[in-house]
Amino acid sequence: MAIASPDLDLSTLFAPRAVAVIGATGRAGSVGQAVFGNVLQHSYAGVVYPVNPRAVSVMSVKAFPSVLDIPDEVDLGIIIVPRDAVSGVMAECGEKGIKAAIVITAGFKELGGAGVELEGQVLQAARASGIRLLGPNCLGIINTEPRVSLNGSFARLMPRPGNIALVSQSGAVGVAALEYAQGEEIGLSKFVSVGNKADLNENDFLACLRDDPQTDVILFYLEDLAEPRRFFQLAQEITSGPKPKPIMAIKSGRTAAGARAASSHTGALAGSDEAYDALFAQCGVLRVETLKQLFDYALAIGMQPLPKGNRVAIVTNAGGLGIMAVDASVRYGLEIAPLQDATLEKLRQGLPPAANIHNPVDVLGDGREDRYRVALDAVLQDDQVDGAIVISTPQLMTDLPAIAATVAEVTPPYGKPTLVCQMALGEIDETLAIWTKARLPHYSFPEEAARAMGAMARYAASIQPASQEVKCFTDVDREALKNLLVRVRMAGRRHLLEPEAHELFRDYGFQVAPFHWAHSPEEAAWAAESLGYPVALKIVSPEVIHKFDVGGVRLNLNDPKEVSQAYREVLAAVAAAQPQADLQGALVQKMAAKGRETILGMTRDPQFGPLLMFGLGGTYVEIFKDVIFRVAPISEHWAEKMIRELKGFQIFTGYRGEPPADLGAIAQCLERLSQLVLDFPEIKELDINPLMVFPEGQGAAVLDARVFISEQ
Amino acid sequence: MAIASPDLDLSTLFAPRAVAVIGATGRAGSVGQAVFGNVLQHSYAGVVYPVNPRAVSVMSVKAFPSVLDIPDEVDLGIIIVPRDAVSGVMAECGEKGIKAAIVITAGFKELGGAGVELEGQVLQAARASGIRLLGPNCLGIINTEPRVSLNGSFARLMPRPGNIALVSQSGAVGVAALEYAQGEEIGLSKFVSVGNKADLNENDFLACLRDDPQTDVILFYLEDLAEPRRFFQLAQEITSGPKPKPIMAIKSGRTAAGARAASSHTGALAGSDEAYDALFAQCGVLRVETLKQLFDYALAIGMQPLPKGNRVAIVTNAGGLGIMAVDASVRYGLEIAPLQDATLEKLRQGLPPAANIHNPVDVLGDGREDRYRVALDAVLQDDQVDGAIVISTPQLMTDLPAIAATVAEVTPPYGKPTLVCQMALGEIDETLAIWTKARLPHYSFPEEAARAMGAMARYAASIQPASQEVKCFTDVDREALKNLLVRVRMAGRRHLLEPEAHELFRDYGFQVAPFHWAHSPEEAAWAAESLGYPVALKIVSPEVIHKFDVGGVRLNLNDPKEVSQAYREVLAAVAAAQPQADLQGALVQKMAAKGRETILGMTRDPQFGPLLMFGLGGTYVEIFKDVIFRVAPISEHWAEKMIRELKGFQIFTGYRGEPPADLGAIAQCLERLSQLVLDFPEIKELDINPLMVFPEGQGAAVLDARVFISEQ
């Protein structure tokens, strides 16, 4: 995979002065005809040359036997020749001085076998001449910018100009998206089908679209990421800068990933999909599920201001649809704004007595544009309203275009997002022009508007705070830890014994339940005396994985006699259950005070690097899988967000008379864990389970942990 | 509210021989014009008479000053006069011998105040003459049956004939639904806007549509139910009979219900929405959220056979869309069918080598109808496939109508549901006729097809088993329980003390942890000796609600000295914390073995009657709200379903080496609870928390419970 320079100039790809379509033909139904026809027939502002050794002209345009025969300079080559001929053609392109090439021909890496090799040859040919290559196995590109107007693809449609760019890893999904956009009269700035990504990949286009003045919103359909870490950096920069551009992505294949072999809870719970979720969330990319959502949200975010919060006002001329909008709003995470007294008073004065002045505001079936004006002015002025959904249905006296015009006129000065839902398929045409001109996103159903508003609020809330500094803890003992890991490795082990794990976390500044590794009953009793009671006693043996199951754990021991007795019993029980186990004494550990059980963990993804996990501990982990993943390193902001995003977050907030939990301590543990796993790449996987979280101000302590290190 | 006779004949409403439109007018934009015009202009097979005292004719049809002036018989009156005139007109209708009336005029109960009274007068006038009344404040009715063809509404559209009936409580939602159906070319059999439901309500139409040969699927938009218990009976009968008709409903206002005052967990968790969920589930009604879902599912269920399971095969000519369909299928509860070897072999032989023969089957971008034929024949023949989703995208050589025709030809003999998704907006017209003729439901996006297939599978699984007998336990002591409740009431209490609650459940055959109500330290010690150790000791006092918080509970007591000591300490602690509390001794209870904590409960809904609740106990109840409600009485089938529907059901299944829990015991507790609360309507609310569930064969025991009784 090529590492694209962040400053790569793709202007020859998107705005070439001259294009050669190599493999152009007039044969109906062929790709060569489709591509050449698209370039020729959609007002391309440059010059297009068909290249075909067996034709004098293609679609009446003079053809050339090879690019080398074209008398003028050519910037871009679009290649549709049989796959075995592609690398030869690429070499000719190089000789011609062509700077960018799109290989539409399929039959390469996607087929495996010889295809992989062929693709390598094509890439090599391109590299040899400094050609940047899109594809192979792609649909091509489209640039709707009027001064270029290039459809260099075999899609049947030329989208109308707009401010949304779409990059698709699947040609067919690209086509489906273009069809949908056309049907909904949605404009696009650029369209790119990245195909096999032999050279240029999504990151190159991300960098390019960042700087594209025609593009306000960037959409992706992805099946994988070529270089996740670079995508992360670019996306973070684009979404959080001074003039942020929203990025939305479908990443398909949620369910395709097979289970991976994992030693830890964290590893078992971390599918690749969780990694993508984490990555997208952290770099400000709104992940969506469907093409419909992609465009629904892009329109809202691309055309309207972002809401400052999630409180929505609904204005409708039909009560039933107002209720449905309320249900949907709540479902999509919005709050139904409680209107202030002054607002209610305005509504009372401006609307008829039968109108519902409370949110959802019902201007009634005979409500005309004047009532919409009153209602919208009132609710949008209200500080407690962050955005509005306007519903209009065709009732007897309803003048839908007049209502659309009123919404377009009234709402912009308030700087709050307004989405419209007109439930009349027949009259869309009359009102569409009004909405388009006013940049008002429109939806067919209240729930679609509510879902889009919910996405806007979620997106607005996810925008990064300016400072995202990752803390560096200095109260950590790297040397000690290094030595510890060397010792483990020298003992021929790939996992730490429990006392070693506690030592590791203690070295990295975690609060750890006081412990001692005892090697005799007497030492255990002595340790208990010095740690203080009650204590727990647990077998230490590299072979014993499930300590509880073999009688290897005793809890709540309260005096030295009990402790030494327990030591003997535990060793005897384990020896009986696992005669081969090498028993290395027992861990004597002070029992911790009552707290909330949580789990902290890390597993490494081959592409994404270390993934941190936080979740509710105990049975919760496995039954409810209420865990959150993030990619390390993480800032305090993200550590806090991880905690708050748990479904069961309420458990920490002083629920049911319990004191609130020490959230700061959890966040710090996460930040320390982040530093630990970056400092020690040889730590492969780990669980702290439980991390016992005490009331506010009392910290959080590691009570048990499993740490696995890599083979070398 | 009228109790409609189950045998009510609504033929005069749906198929009148003559209709009078009272308030008909030619004034453009008026309701009177809209209704009369609709009856006149949509090929109504009967005779329509405009009634208007100030017009000689309406839209060129001779008008009459009043219904009494019409020389012929009239079956149906549609009334659009001002609201104060409605009851007078109704009386005239009665005099004329009219049998059914639709009052479209608004301004009645929905406005409150005088409107309520006026509505009462209208109803009275109708009753006095035996007129069945639809409305007031409604849109009217539509019957598309060609031999009637009546549009007795002011909706602007006359739907095309079809097999779907729609009953809407909101006129505007009805209009929106008609608009949508029109746009999607979906046919309807009947449309009813029920308005204020002064007389006829959804139940009457349910009974009528049950017997309507034109209707195969019944859809509802509901804001409330007039008589939930009757709806339940009717719907259950319709969905489970020998020729079941599917019923789907939107019930809006999910989030509108305020919190109700409740003494129990069960009461606090039971919103009215949970009651609706329970009711719909139990009577086989598929509850959906949106109009789009309503029609998407109705088309699938109305046109295709139901799947026998949830295993779906996907056939596509675009890999990316196949993956999106897989993601969506999994999201909507489907399983991606693993294809059998024989199937794979057929695919291998019939498709090119580059095709993906595993599910999702990819016939490739150049795949024509012949490959779809091979793929569909292979997957539909596979026993492990319950249904198919067919995706086609317009690629270069694709002949979409030919593919549609092939799907239409190949799929029906297999008797497995097939849904199509053609991602080409422009070419819908060419293929639509093919789909319509073949009754193939089509969707714009793979996720919509997957969602509909998911709904079909869910619906198929929800169809009632033939025998739904509710058990009657005879090993219960009604007399003892009756006496107990009398004692409680005589003590002036509205809740049972804990020992009384244990007594109650013991009397009804529940397994209860052995207990004794002790009134002195000595009695407590003696009780412990006879119960066996360890025991718990809990304060008994009508005033003490939170026993734990005031030091009123001691656990794990192991000898008589400890017990008597604990008795003294507990009483002293509670006396100190709540000096006013009347201390009535302590409950000595044998500690139960370890098990899974669950909660069982009941609360009474004023409309729905007793709602039973089951869920995971402990913190789960309040944080994850993982509880299921059902309406009593319940059969064993439903008791088992309640348990299995829990999100955390896995906790019972012998997860992590624990033995499987005694599910039969839980089901029996639910059935006993059902009987208990029906036998004793004076029990208002109760929690069994926890019901400790032991391993299979060891039962489930009530460890603590709270029971509240009604005022009288």
Second CATH level (architecture) for the domain A307-462: 3-Layer(aba) Sandwich (3.40)
B289 touches chain A (CB under 8 A): yes
Nearest to A393 among B154, B175, B256 (CB): B175
pLDDT score, position B1: 33
Q: Which two tokens stand for residue B257?
A: 């219900």
A549 to chain B: closest CA residue: B657
Dihedral (CA of B240, B243, B248, B251) sign: negative
- Please report residues of A whose CB lies closer than 8 A to that of B398: none
**Number of CB pairs < 8 Å for A and B?**
192
| Whole-number pLDDT of residue A608 | 87
All CATH 3.30.1490.20 domain ranges in chain B, comma separated: 478-590
Candidates B176, B327, B619; nearest CB to A321: B176
With an 8 Å Cβ cutoff, are B354 and A289 in contact? no
B618 CB within 8 Å of a chain A CB: no
Residue A567: count other Cβ atoms within 10 Å of its Cβ: 27
- Say what the pLDDT of residue B426 is: 63
Q: pLDDT confidence of A654, banded at 50, 70, 90?
A: confident
Question: What is the per-residue pLDDT for A712?
Answer: 65
Average pLDDT over residues B207-219: 95
Q: What is the pLDDT of residues A387-402, one digit of tens each?
A: 999 999 887 778 899 9
Whether pLDDT at B615 is above 50: yes
Q: What angle do CA B462, B465, B470 make, to 5 degrees?
A: 110
Cβ-defined contact of B320 to A171 (cutoff 8 Å): yes
d(CA A477, CA A485) in angstroms, rounded, equals 13
**CA pair distance A611, A589, nearest whole angstrom:** 29
Whether residue B692 contacts residue B701, with contact meaning beta carbons closer than 8 Å, is answered with yes
Above 70 in pLDDT, residue B712? no
Place of tokens 């007595």: A353
Band of pLDDT at residue A656, cut at 50, 70 and 90 = low
Q: Which CATH architecture has domain A514-591?
A: 2-Layer Sandwich (3.30)
Residue limits of CATH 3.30.1490.20 in chain A? 514-591
Mean pLDDT in residue range A489-518: 95
Average pLDDT, stretch B166-177?
A: 92
Q: How many CB atoms lie within 10 A of CB B517?
A: 20
Lowest mean pLDDT among A184-188, A290-294, B210-214, B463-467: B463-467
Task: Give contacts of B 317-336 with A, CB under 8 A.
Answer: 317-321, 323-324, 326-328, 330-331, 336
Cis peptide leading into residue B690 (ω within 30°) = yes
Per-residue confidence (pLDDT) for residue A257, from 0 to 100: 43
Q: Does B492 touch chain A (CB under 8 A)?
A: no
What does the mean pLDDT of chain B come to?
A: 91
Q: Residue A458: its pLDDT value, please?
A: 92
- The mean of the pLDDT values for chain A is 91
Cα dihedral A363/A365/A370/A375 (nearest 10): 20
In this prediction, residue B126 carries a pLDDT of 96
When pLDDT is averaged across residues A25-35 and rounded to a whole number, the result is 92
**A613-631 confidence digits (pLDDT tens):** 999 887 667 778 889 999 9
**A320 → closest Cβ in B223, B255, B394:** B223
Instruction: Select from 3.30.930.10, 3.30.470.20, 3.10.520.10, 1.10.3210.10 the CATH code of B596-709.
Output: 3.30.470.20
Percent of chain A surpassing pLDDT 90 = 77
What is the 8-class DSSP label of residue B36?
H
pLDDT, average across residues B312-323:
93
Contact residues, chain B, for A327 at CB < 8 Å: 252-255, 289
How far is the C-alpha of A546 from the C-alpha of B428, rounded, in Å?
60
For chain B, say whether A144 makes contact (Cβ under 8 Å): no
Measured in whole angstroms, how far is the alpha carbon of residue B538 from the centre of its chain?
A: 42
* pLDDT tens track for A398-422: 889 999 999 999 999 999 999 999 9
Buried b (16+ CB within 10 A) or exposed e, A584-623: bbbbbbbbbeebbbbbbbbbbbeebbbbbbbbbbebbbbb
Smallest CA-to-CA distance from A464 within A250, A242, A647, A213 is with A242
Q: What percent of chain B has pLDDT over 90?
A: 78
For the domain B478-590, what is the CATH code?
Answer: 3.30.1490.20
| B624 contact A CB<8A | yes
What pLDDT is stored for residue A594 in this prediction? 86
Q: Does any CB of chain A come closer than 8 Å to the CB of residue B458?
A: no
Model confidence at B607: pLDDT above 80: yes
- Look up residue B83 and give its DSSP letter: G
Tens digit of each residue's pLDDT (9 = 90 or more) over A436-473: 899 999 998 999 999 999 999 999 988 766 557 899 99
B136: its two tokens = 């007031």
pLDDT band of residue B8 (cuts 50, 70, 90) is: low
Using pLDDT thresholds of 50, 70 and 90, give the confidence band for residue B10. confident
Which residues of chain A make contact with B324, given a CB cutoff of 8 A?
173, 250, 252, 290
Name which of A87-101, B272-286, B670-684 the model is least confident about: B272-286
- Is-contact A286 A248, C-beta < 8 A? yes
Written in H, E and C, the secondary structure of A460-507 is HHHCCCCCCCCCCCCCCCHHHHHHHHHHHHHCCCCECCHHHHHHHHHH
Cα–Cα distances (Å) from A253 to A271, A298, B45, B360, in that order, read 11, 22, 55, 12
Residue A492: the pLDDT is: 92
Q: Are A245 and A217 in contact (CB under 8 A)?
A: yes
Q: What was the ipTM of the complex prediction?
A: 0.87
Contact predicate A621/A601, CB 8 Å: no
Q: Give pLDDT tens digits for B544-564.
A: 988 888 899 999 999 999 999
Q: Which tokens belong to B664?
A: 């039969």
Lowest-pLDDT range of A502-511, B454-463, B699-708: B454-463
Residue of chain A whose Cα is closest to the Cα of B328: A289
In the predicted model, what is the mean pLDDT of residues A274-285?
90
Alpha-carbon torsion (B244, B250, B255, B258), positive or negative: negative
B648 → closest Cβ in A154, A396, A624: A624
Q: Do B318 and A176 touch (CB under 8 A)?
A: yes
Average pLDDT over residues A122-149: 96
The predicted pLDDT at position B643 comes to 95
B133: left (phi over 0), alpha (psi -120 to 50) or beta: beta
On the question of a cis peptide bond just before residue A82, with omega within 30 degrees of 0, the verdict is: no
As a whole number, mean pLDDT of residues B657-680 equals 94
Rounded to an integer, the average pLDDT of B143-169 is: 94
Domain limits, CATH 3.40.50.261, in chain B: 307-462
**In this model, does residue A13 exceed pLDDT 90?**
yes
Q: Are strands A627-631 and A609-616 parallel, antiparallel or unpaired?
A: antiparallel
B180 and A423: CB-CB below 8 Å?
A: yes
The pLDDT score that the predictor gives to residue A603 is 93
Q: How far is B110 from chain A (nearest CA, A)?
A: 9
Return d(Cα A474, Cα A478) in angstroms, integer.
10
Q: What is the pLDDT of residue B4?
A: 39
- What does the pLDDT look like over B380-406, one tens digit per residue? 999 999 999 999 988 777 889 999 999
Q: Binning pLDDT at 50, 70 and 90, where does residue A7 land?
A: very low
Integer Cα distance of A691 and A702 in angstroms = 5
Query: Given a cut of 90, is residue A256 above it in pLDDT?
Result: no
- Delimiting residues of CATH 3.30.470.20 domain(s) in chain B: 596-709
B259: pLDDT strictly greater than 60 = no
| B342 interfacial to chain A (CB closer than 8 Å) | no
pLDDT tens digits for range A85-130: 999 999 999 999 999 999 999 989 988 889 999 999 999 999 999 9
**Across B196-205, average pLDDT:** 96
Q: A331 contacts in B (CB within 8 Å)?
A: 254, 289
Please say if the pLDDT value at position A4 is more than 70: no
Average pLDDT of span B143-157 = 94
A140 forms beta bridges with: A153, A193
Distance in Å, alpha carbon of A221 to nearest chain B alpha carbon: 9
- DSSP string covering A681-696, please? TTEEEEEEEEEEEPBT
- Of A284-298, A387-401, B60-74, B197-211, the one with minimum mean pLDDT is A387-401
- Rounded to a whole number of angstroms, the distance from the CA of A176 to the nearest CA of chain B is 6
Interface of B with A in 185-244 (CB under 8 A): 221, 223
Q: Which of A423, A550, A646 to mutate to test the interface with B (most CBs of B within 10 A)?
A: A423
Q: Are the Cβ atoms of B255 and A326 closer than 8 angstroms?
A: yes
Closest to B551 (Cα-Cα) out of B533, B538, B564:
B538
Question: Which A residues in the span 12-71 are in contact with B, Cβ-Cβ below 8 Å?
Answer: 29-31, 34
Shortest alpha-carbon distance between residue A622 and chain B (Å): 9
What is the chain B residue with the closest CA to A34? Answer: B396
- Put simply, the answer to whether B170 touches A318 (Cβ < 8 Å) is yes
User: Between residues 646 and 675 of chain A, which touch chain B (CB distance below 8 Å)?
Assistant: 647-648, 650-651, 655-657
CA proximity to A601, closest of A267, A239, A214, A245: A267
> Is the model's pLDDT at A548 over the cut of 90?
no
Half-sphere CA count of B377, side-chain side, radius 13 A = 16
Which residue of chain A comes nearest to B354, CA vs CA? Answer: A111
CB-based contact B289 A656, cutoff 8 Å? no
Asked if B382 and B316 count as a contact pair (C-beta separation under 8 A), the reply is no
pLDDT for residue A190 is more than 60: yes
Model pLDDT, residue B113: 87
Instruction: Provide the H-helix boundaries in B338-427.
Output: 341-350, 369-381, 400-410
Beta carbons of B320 and A254 less than 8 Å apart = no
What integer pLDDT is reported at residue A397 of this predicted model? 72
CA-based radius of gyration for chain B: 32
CA–CA distance from A674 to each of A292, A332, A465, A613, B373 (Å)?
Answer: 37, 32, 20, 10, 54
